[in-house]
Structure 1
Amino acid sequence: MLRKFATLALALSFTLPALAATPVNVNTADAATIASSLDGVGPAKAKAIVAYRKAHGHFKSVDDLTKVKGIGQATLAHNRKDIRLGGGKK
């Protein structure tokens, strides 16, 4: 039993970091990249981010993302450290 638990714990230690958010430039990334990079942002919200960016231009601050329907303060607070506006990951 202990061996099964140790194996499960080891497997989770490799899996959980992959589920964490990864830095993404919301001014250049496509919807699929945004959705896969930010926690709580699925395909619909990611498409809304891209559509807003196309209609209004690049985001000047991370807080500008709250202008996108479906993106609130809680989503921003959870992902703020991983949201990029220039340079860095697409």
Structure 2
Amino acid sequence: MKHIRTLLATVFAISLLLTNVQLAAAEDQVAEAQLQLVNLNTASAEELSEVLEGVGPARAELIVQYREQNGNFSSVEQLLEIKGIGVATLEKNKDRIQL
């Protein structure tokens, strides 16, 4: 009888663990779906600083100024031409950017 209880407890623990793994995967999918997007060619400095990680108001204003001086962005990688935006910032934000 003791072995049956142990077996049932183990099965229950495994079932609970699998449920938690499934819930975590579902939460990740919801988070990805809720990821805000920003268009580099139309967004205001305020919108850029709200959506992009590591981009505050001053850097967002530089993005807008770059766009005004050089025309629309044709690639996301052009952000690297803006002072203070490096590869790490670009990589963190690639999924948030539209052209």
Q: What's the TM-score once normalised by structure 2's chain length?
A: 0.64
Q: CA deviation at 1:70?
A: 1.0
Q: In the alignment, residue 76 of structure 1 is paired with which amino acid?
A: L
2:98 corresponds to which residue? Answer: 84
Query: How many aligned positions are there?
Result: 68
Q: Structure 1 67/22 Cα, relative in aligned 2: closer, same or farther at 3 Å?
A: same
Residue 84 of structure 2 aligns with which residue?
Answer: 70
Is 1:27–1:58's contact at 8 Å kept on the other side of the alignment?
yes
Higher helix share: 2
Secondary structure of the residue that 1:27 maps to in structure 2? coil
| Alpha-carbon offset, residue 21 of structure 1 | 5.8
Structure 1: gaps of 5 or more residues? 1-16, 86-90
Contact 1:21-1:79 within 8 A present in 2 as well: no
Whose relative contact order is higher, 1 or 2, with alpha carbons under 8 Å and at least 6 apart? 1
Q: 1:21 to 1:39 in 2, by over 3 A?
A: farther
- Say which one has the larger Rg: 2
Please state how far the C-alpha of 1:57 moved relative to its aligned partner: 0.4
Distance 2:93 2:86 in 1: 11
Structure 1's 21 and 40: CA in aligned 2 closer, same or farther, altered over 3 A? farther
Offset of 1:31 from its aligned partner? 0.1
1:11-90 alignment runs, 5 A limit: 22-85=36-99
- Separation in 2, partners of 1:21, 1:56: 28
1:54 partner SS: helix
